[in-house]
Amino acid sequence: MNEIPLSHILFVSTGLFFIGMYGLFTRRNMITMLMAIELMLNSVNINFVAFNKYLYPEKLDGIFFTIFIITIAAAEAAVAIAIVIHLYRNHKSIDVEDAAEMKW
Q: Which is nearer to other proteins, 3 or 18 (CB)?
A: 18
CA distances from 8 to 21, 59, 104 (A): 20, 22, 43
- Output 1 or 55, the one with its CB closest to other proteins: 55
Binding residues for other proteins, per CB under 8 A? Answer: 17, 20-21, 24, 30, 33-34, 37, 40-41, 43-44, 47-48, 51, 55-56, 59, 61-62, 64-65, 68-69, 72, 75-76, 79-80, 82-84, 86-87, 90-91, 96, 99-104
- By beta-carbon proximity to other proteins, the closer residue of 1 and 79 is 79
Least distance CB 4 / other proteins (angstroms): 16
The rounded distance, in Å, linking the Cα atoms of 48 and 62 is 5
| Residues 66 and 48: beta-carbon distance below 8 Å | yes
Whether the CB-CB separation of 24 and 33 falls below 8 Å is answered with yes
Dihedrals φ, ψ of 95, to 5°?
-90, 130
